Structure 1
Amino acid sequence: MFPFKVALNTSTLFPFKLNVIQQVRIAAEAGYEGIELWMKDIETYLAGGGTIEDLKHALSCANIEFINAIAFFKWADADAEIREKAFKQAKGEMELLTSLGCKLIAAPPFGDVGTVKLDEATGYFEHLVVMGREIGVEPILEFWGKAQKLSTLSEAHYVLETSSIQNTKMLIDPFHMYIGGSDFFRLKELRGEQIGIFHVNDYPPIPEIEKLEDSDRVFPGEGIAPSNEIAQTLYNIHYSGYLSLELFIEDYKGKSALEVIKHGLQALKNSYSIN
């Protein structure tokens, strides 16, 4: 049984240098129900003469949901002036996203966050969520395994649990859980509705954790991640949202973009099926 929806994070397609229209069309052709686009790709497309209307039309024709945008603004930076600029950036990006029908935007610990206390980060995240909800786009808290703060599932869970705002969500990625030392068992402490999106990938046993980079990620089932146990836990906590394939492989050894993401879709379903 496979109880989840499937999406493609377009980082998986980076080696093919496709524009956002091409990314949307090929993801739909491969059988994905949702797509995560990167703000930098949207901005490049618009700067090159593309239009919001054409991108909306492409999404509609492909019958694929624009589920989340990957963005980088320094919402939790230690410097107040930098945070203020980040909130302005986030506001503009979310206003653009709502015109495309996108409901979520990733909020990772980008910037100088090492000296920021978790309670301070909670306050900054609350400000971001309030702003986003007024616009119509929900920021989802992402943790990065190598970040100086917000590097673990426990820290992200703390922010959600202590927030004065109801129904905040996080973005979870097994690669970041692994390199940050998060305990996969702690996924059981979450409620399914606290997860906005779950990224899917795998990681090899070599090199050691300290030397692993994004480009070392592998397809689900081709590494040592406890993918089946993760899937069972997600199902048990009643998460039924999107699993989104996110890879940063730099060389696919001559395979076409369509071949790559079709293989990824099958690998995702095989690894995250429920017994």
Structure 2
Amino acid sequence: MVFPFQTALNASTLFPFKLNVLEQVREAAEAGYDGIELWVRDIEDYLANGGTIAALSECLEKSGITLVGAIAFFKWADKSAEAREQGFVQAEREMKLLAELGCRAIAAPPYGDVEQVTLAEMAAYFAELASLARGIGIEPYLEFWGRAKQLFRIDDAVFVAQKSGVNEAKLLLDPFHMYTGGSDFETLKQLKGSQIGIFHVNDYPSNPGRETITDADRVFPGEGIAPSRELARILHEIGYQGYLSLELFIDNYDGLTALEVAQKGLYAMKNAYQIEG
């Protein structure tokens, strides 16, 4: 069995420990991850409390870990033109900040009031976002949320990406959102590896059921009912060689330290997403 992917830690996994971004980076690096996804709000909190871009950049460089992406929430697809305009202003500000850090990408989920927005309209808004982002040097990863009122399945995201006309548009995929939104996991086979920007990794139990399960119910890879080994096989077969990023929202780790959680997550991810070599 082999593990053919790169590894990343989404900082949400360490939220219970209330670490600043420097500490998040150091814990991820010490645990052995190749990359990290930081949350823009954490970066902004760090800067507001006296931190500097230079110090964070130096920390990333010394840790030998790559800032592979960032999690942000701006209303790029809201039904309100005013909200979208404000969202794009926010997006530009945040992406310029990330570019200074050498960040590669930013998540673009269906945040805001999107229920009455058609997928075709979303495609046009995503094209606008991609143009802005790429001009700054950032790649937007189109993300679907299983609980969103629109853009909640993988086939929705594929349609938006294709309809947008964005060359080599990339998706952010997540088995939890595939499960809660009712996506067909087999749809992954229709993608090329190059269409996936990053793949979030997690697992989920059978109880609570799909209709009521929340982010806080996510568990470590291999501890739930997600078809992790099958997902790994499909990802490998379609040519995906990028990052698997552990994204959990567990409130309490029963006495484990941040480093122990990061190490446990890395081991669980590598074990659950092995393929036959």
Instruction: Please give the range of the TM-score, normalised by the shorter of the 2 chains.
Output: over 0.9
3-state SS in 2 of match to 1:14: helix
CA distance in 1, matches of 2:103, 2:214: 29
Aligned to 2:66: 65
1:272 is matched with 273
Q: Distance in 2 between matches of 1:186 and 1:167?
A: 18
Once the two structures are TM-superposed, the CA of residue 163 in structure 1 deviates from its matched residue by 2.1
How far is 1:160 from its partner?
Answer: 1.3
Runs of 4+ in 1 over 4 A off after TM superposition: none
Determine the C-alpha separation between the residues in 2 that align with 1:27 and 1:225: 24
Quote how far apart the aligned CAs of 1:165 are. Answer: 1.8
Q: Is 1:88 matched up with 2:89?
A: yes
Q: Which amino acid aligns with 2:133?
A: G
Whole-Å Cα distance in 2 between the matches of residues 95 and 163 of structure 1?
23
**Partner SS for 1:209:** coil
Q: Which residue does the alignment assign to 1:211?
A: 212
Aligned to 1:51: 52
How many residue pairs match? The answer is 275
Instruction: For 2:103 and 2:260, locate their aligned partners in 1 and report how far apart those are by CA, in whole Å.
Output: 27
The equivalent of 2:156 in structure 1 is 155
- Counterpart residue type for residue 80 of structure 1: A
Deviation at 1:164, TM superposition (A): 1.5
- How far off its partner does 1:34 sit? 0.2
The 5-angstrom pairing of residues 98-109 of structure 1 reads 98-109=99-110
AA matched with 1:146: R
CA RMSD of aligned residues (A): 0.5
Q: Secondary structure at the residue paired with 2:96?
A: helix
Could you give the per-residue CA deviations for residues 6-29 of structure 1, whole angstroms, max 9, x where no partner exists?
A: 000000000000000000001000
Partner amino acid, structure 1, of 2:118:
K
Which residue identity is paired with 1:176? H
What one-letter code is carried by the residue in structure 2 that aligns with 1:270? Answer: N
> Identity across aligned pairs (percent)?
60
1:230-269 equivalences under 5 Å are 230-269=231-270
Letter matched to residue 60 of structure 1: E
Q: Output the CA distance in 2 between the equivalents of 1:225 and 1:240.
A: 20
C-alpha distance in structure 2 between counterparts of 1:86 and 1:165, whole Å: 20
Query: Superposed, which structure 2 residues align to 1:132-151 within 5 Å?
Result: 132-151=133-152
CA distance in 2, matches of 1:194, 1:160: 9
For residues 174 and 44 of structure 2, what CA distance do their matches in structure 1 show? 25
For residue 161 of structure 1, report the CA deviation from its aligned partner. Answer: 1.7
In the superposition, the TM-score normalised over structure 1's length comes to 0.99
Aligned to 2:174: 173
Q: Which residue of 1 aligns with 2:29?
A: 28
Determine the C-alpha separation between the residues in 1 that align with 2:3 and 2:273.
7
Q: Where does structure 1 lack aligned partners over 5 or more consecutive residues?
A: none
CA shift digits 1:121-167 (9 cap, x unpaired) = 00000000000000000111000000000000010011112221210
Where do 1:114-129 residues align within 5 Å?
114-129=115-130
Q: Which amino acid aligns with 1:177?
A: M
Give secondary structure in 2 for the equivalent of 1:134: helix
Instruction: Report the residue type matching 2:73 in the other structure.
Output: F
Query: What are structure 2's unaligned runs of at least 5 residues?
Result: none
Supply the distance in 2 between the matched residues of 1:268 and 1:12 (Cα, whole angstroms). Answer: 13
Aligned equivalents of 2:47, 2:262: Cα separation in 1: 25
Q: What amino acid is aligned across from residue 123 of structure 2 in structure 1?
A: T
Query: In 1, distance between residues paired with 2:117 and 2:193?
Result: 28
- For normalisation by structure 2, the TM-score amounts to 0.99
